[in-house]
Structure 1
Amino acid sequence: MKTFVFLSIVALCSAKSLLQNEFLHFLAEQDIMLQDPPQNTSHIIQPQQRSTPASTPDDPFFICPLKCVCQVRVVQCSDADLQSVPAKIPKDTVMLDLQNNKITEIKESDLKNVPLLYALFLINNQITKIHPKAFRSTKHLKLLYLSWNLLPQIPTNLPASLLELRIDDNKIKKIQKEAFKGMKFLHVLEMSGNPLDTTGIEPDAFDGVLRLIYIRISQAKLTSVPKNLPSNLYELYLDHNKISSIELEDFRRYKDLYRLDLSFNQIKDIENGSLAYLPNLRQIHLENNKVKKVPASIKKLKYLQAVYLHNNNISKIEVDDFCPKESRIKKLYYSGISLFGNPVKHWEIEPASFRCVSGAHGVQLGNFRK
């Protein structure tokens, strides 16, 4: 019996060390994943270094909130039927998981005693209100997930340290002036599933946001491409909206775009030259629209590699629709062009139309059959 107890203690000690190593590895991965391209990483805030050991369940002064599980600076309170943020959260908590509860409000004092908080998950609650001073003490918060709640607007006074904000599937109809004020490190913004119209994005909403490279506003009520988003975007997702046309000036501001998703809209017309403002574009999604012909600017995008045009109304493919007459203009060959689900007669397409496509399976004109 004594031998059994001794071996159990040794096993628990080993498990605790492993968990700590895994979580520290998780933090390191988050830092790497959310950095800007490698040319300049000096702006990234690094997790605060501590000279004192973390509180653990073995500490006689350690208190874990009721209905929660605490392990190595991680407090997990998900699926606990909580109606408010629990009190007495350990002060050295780095990650706080409160998803899948019934929390309706984040009060001023709820996060007061967790100054080292790095990640806060509040997904799938019933939050309608967040106090303007709720994040006053969280100076190092980088990941804030507020998806699947009932928030009517972007919370005010969000931490300036945020790298990633996910606030999709709420009740947001408007992005107010200076909604992201001071958030110069924000990289990722997820806002899908909100009843947001194009006119609901105020011109000064993104003032001061310098590092935002990824925005998703899918499944909203956009009727046109927003023209006042940050100019340094790398990825823009506007799929599943009500956009009916692409105008000449729509993308003039977004010259750094690498990936663009306009699928599942109602796009009929794409004005000539409207895509020419995207010289660095690698991938474009225009599938499941009402496009009648290959956009004229496609062949001018020298780095474009993937074009999704399936399930549209394209009835004819011209020999120069995808490939420019001067081969030197195209710097990268296409790796994929999808055209299935269009009324085009594939036997009428000249083989030279795809002369700048790499690989025998680079073009999809119909579903593959076994």
Structure 2
Amino acid sequence: MRLLLLIVLLLPLTAVVVVVGAKKYQRVDVMEIARNYDVMVADQDDDGDDGDDDDRHYDDDDSCPPGCHCTPRVVQCSDQGLIGVPGKLPADIVMLDLQNNDISEIKEDDFKGLEKLYGLFLINNRISKIHPRALKNMNNLRLLYLSYNALTQIPADLPPNLVELRFHENRINRIQKDAFKGLRKLHVLELGANPLANGGMELGAFNGLSTLYVGMSESRLTAVPKDLPSSITELNLEYNKIFKIEVEDLIRYKNLQRLSLSFNQIRFVENGSLAKIPNIRQIHLDNNALKKVPAGLGSLRYLQVIFLHANKISSVGINDFCPLRFGEKKNLYNGISLFANPVKYWDVHPGTFRCVGGRRGVQLGNFRK
């Protein structure tokens, strides 16, 4: 299981960008994911098979739905114009691919009997309704991808052992208290590109989660959400309307290692705010409206990447990035970007970047109006 979680969190998601009309979405390569989960497939094989027949096709088998592509434990029914989940699916499958169809509703018995299902991919359909009991008792389900649909709320009775849950680009504008109740193993929660404002998240909406990654890019946020799981190590808030960072915004997220705030409207970072995230490795503040380098960067011992390009920074001080005393910084910078700012790079003191590793670690460049 530890190896499995490592694969989930560290391997890049294999995907292809597909254009459907004016709509773009990332097609997930289910077979690549299945190959990455060899440990999972073996664990769920009750026959003790050594997996040598995993490449054989069963498209003409009676148990394979018409138009679908079937291999042992994997059924692919993407791009078939389906308006519903196929019936009589093989009971032993662990991966079900229903991407890019016209399914509008998930009914109560659509997945009945699929007790070994591990990954369910419903990306780019028209799903607006999921029966409250449709996902109940799917205790082996770990990956649930519902991105690019028309859902307006979080489905009820989500499987308790989910590791990844993706709702990118739906119509969710409110998250009720205890919406993710019981999902103690969830590590990835993607909610980006939903019309979700700060007021749309009820207090306690994320109760019980120990999530490591939360994505809320392209939403309607005007401030950093303050009630997300305190366990998060990565938070993506890009392409929102956040205009300032205050101390209370980050005080809950002491485990944060990567913070993405690019393409907002941030003009102000309150002194002491960044000190609340002492374990941070990467901060993305590019494409905002900052007039100076945020205070406190020098106190972040593990910070390696800080992106500040495309702001309004006109000057850089000698102690803006590095601590005063030698040896206080545990990790040297390998990336500081300051290009596309009105700062005169010839006025920057050479000692400003004394804690940067390598000559290519700093990008200044000329400013052009």
TM-score higher than 0.5: yes
- What's the CA shift string for 1:230-278, capped at 9, x where partnerless? 0011111000000000011111110011111000000000000001011
Contact 1:169/1:193, CA 8 A, preserved across alignment: yes
Query: 2:59 & 2:196 partners in 1: Cα distance?
Result: 48
Q: Which residue of 1 aligns with 2:6?
A: none
CA deviation after TM superposition for structure 1 residue 322, in Å? 0.6
* Structure of greater Rg: 1
Q: Which residue of 1 aligns with 2:185?
A: 185
Pair 337,52 (structure 1): closer, same or farther in 2 beyond 3 Å: closer
Pair 58,220 (structure 1): closer, same or farther in 2 beyond 3 Å: closer
Return 5+ residue gaps in structure 1 as ranges.
1-20, 32-45
Point out 4+ residue stretches in structure 1 off by more than 2 angstroms.
21-26, 28-31, 46-49, 51-62
| Counterpart secondary structure, 1:96 | strand
| Counterpart secondary structure, 2:352 | helix
CA deviation after TM superposition for structure 1 residue 94, in Å? 0.8
Pair 22,121 (structure 1): closer, same or farther in 2 beyond 3 Å: closer
Query: 1:195 & 1:22 partners in 2: Cα distance?
Result: 32
One-letter code of the match for 1:285? H
Contact 2:236/2:261, CA 8 A, preserved across alignment: yes
Q: Which residue of 1 aligns with 2:17?
A: none
Q: Which residue of 2 aligns with 1:172?
A: 172
Out of 44, 48, 52, the position equivalent to 1:48 is 44
One-letter code of the match for 1:172? I
Q: Which residue of 2 aligns with 1:35?
A: none
Query: 2:197 & 2:39 partners in 1: Cα distance?
Result: 35
Is 1:358 the counterpart of 2:354? The answer is: no
User: What's the TM-score, normalizing by structure 1?
Assistant: 0.85
Aligned length: 333
One-letter code of the match for 1:27? Y
Contact 1:47/1:140, CA 8 A, preserved across alignment: no
Provide the identity percentage.
54
Q: Which residue of 1 aligns with 2:66?
A: 66
Pair 305,112 (structure 1): closer, same or farther in 2 beyond 3 Å: same
Q: Which residue of 1 aligns with 2:142?
A: 142
| Counterpart secondary structure, 1:299 | helix
Contact 1:159/1:183, CA 8 A, preserved across alignment: yes
Pair 59,96 (structure 1): closer, same or farther in 2 beyond 3 Å: closer
One-letter code of the match for 2:36? F
Q: Which residue of 1 aligns with 2:37?
A: 27
One-letter code of the match for 2:177? K
CA deviation after TM superposition for structure 1 residue 197, in Å? 0.5
| Counterpart secondary structure, 1:353 | helix
Contact 2:345/2:366, CA 8 A, preserved across alignment: no
Return 5+ residue gaps in structure 2 as ranges.
1-30
Q: Which residue of 2 aligns with 1:246?
A: 245
Pair 349,87 (structure 1): closer, same or farther in 2 beyond 3 Å: same
Contact 2:345/2:365, CA 8 A, preserved across alignment: no
Contact 2:59/2:70, CA 8 A, preserved across alignment: no
| Counterpart secondary structure, 1:250 | helix
CA deviation after TM superposition for structure 1 residue 57, in Å? 6.7
